[in-house]
Amino acid sequence: MFELLLPFFLLVLILIVLPVIWKINARKYISSGTVASAYDAWTEDKLLERLWGEHIHLGFYPLGGVKIDFRKAKVQFVHELVKWSGLDKLPKGSRILDVGCGIGGSSRILAKYYGFNVTGITISPGQVKRARELTPVGLNCNFRVMDALDLKFEDGSFDGVWSVEAGAHMNDKTKFADEMLRILRPGGYLALADWNSRDLRKNPPSFFENLVLKQLLEQWVHPNFVSINEFVNILRTNKNSIGRVVSENWNSYTNPSWYDSIFEGIRRPFAILSLGPLSIIKSIREIPTILLMNWAFRKGLMEFGVYKCRG
């Protein structure tokens, strides 16, 4: 019964309740600057870090209902994508670029467990500062403020390129792919994961789905979503992509992350309370968007795309 009524409740939230709440502090994409400002704010208030740890991205959960800790699932996601993409075939000391590195969680795993020399970039100065603070001395990680659509590296500078959940913030997906493949050396590995919509041209969204998509775009500074097939075609048509582009939809592996990201607040209440009363309001504000994300991914309106190819 609850499953049948859920769309109705979501519609009421979207049309009546949420516009009032979200209008106070909307995060609509305007430019890369709005992305930087949003992530600076999230990093400064430390709420996401306290609740979710060093990884803002979703986790990987084994099929069959196997229980796994939320933070461990995030670490597991990194290892699964490394293995699936073939990045683990690169020798120690290989140069890896982490595009959209956040506060450096994935970069540190790539350096610590695989022996890579990792450069992480993000548009957010706050994230770079925090990533540097969290990185132990001697670990081969360095972090820089840089726009992913204008990478300040020579062609073929890296043996591997890694990017997780960054592409949804890019207003030019073709330029995003072009820049990553440009700085990837011939024979290098690209490993990428992102939030995608289903193919909306072949299967147009309903009125309700359009409302959901609008909120998912405007609340977390996303300019647009593309489908998995659309991004595969972008990669395939790039002149630097000479290898076969392979993609998969990892919805079934990652979907438990949405509820877990809310439950972390219940499991770790002092993580929120220790940051002061305002953090409670901030955490509650994110719950409706997380619930909409969960619904969209479960229903197939959104898809979690993973991609691999060779330079």
pLDDT in tens, 144-155: 999 999 999 999
Q: Which residues contact 136 (CB under 8 A, 6 or more apart)?
A: none
pTM for the model = 0.91
| Positions in the chain whose pLDDT score sits under 70 | 1-26, 241-243
Express as a percent the part of the chain with pLDDT over 70: 91
pLDDT for residue 178: 95
173-182 and 228-236 helices, crossing angle to 10°: 40
What CA–CA distance (Å, rounded) separates 296 from 168?
15
Using alpha carbons, select from 186, 176, 172, 164 the residue that is nearest to residue 305.
Answer: 164
- The alpha helices in the chain, defined as continuous H runs, are 2-12, 18-23, 32-45, 47-52, 70-85, 105-114, 125-134, 173-182, 207-219, 228-236, 251-254, 256-267, 269-273, 277-299
> pLDDT, tens digit, for every residue of 186-230?
999 999 999 999 999 999 999 999 999 999 999 999 999 999 999
Residues 6+ apart with CB under 8 A from 221: 27, 28, 29, 34, 35, 38, 169
What percent of the chain is predicted at pLDDT more than 90? 77
pLDDT at 2: 46
Separation of CA 266 from chain center? 23
Cβ-contact 304, 248 below 8 angstroms: no
Range of 61's domain? Answer: 2-310
What total of structural domains would you count in the chain? 1
**The CATH number of the domain where 12 resides is what?**
3.40.50.150
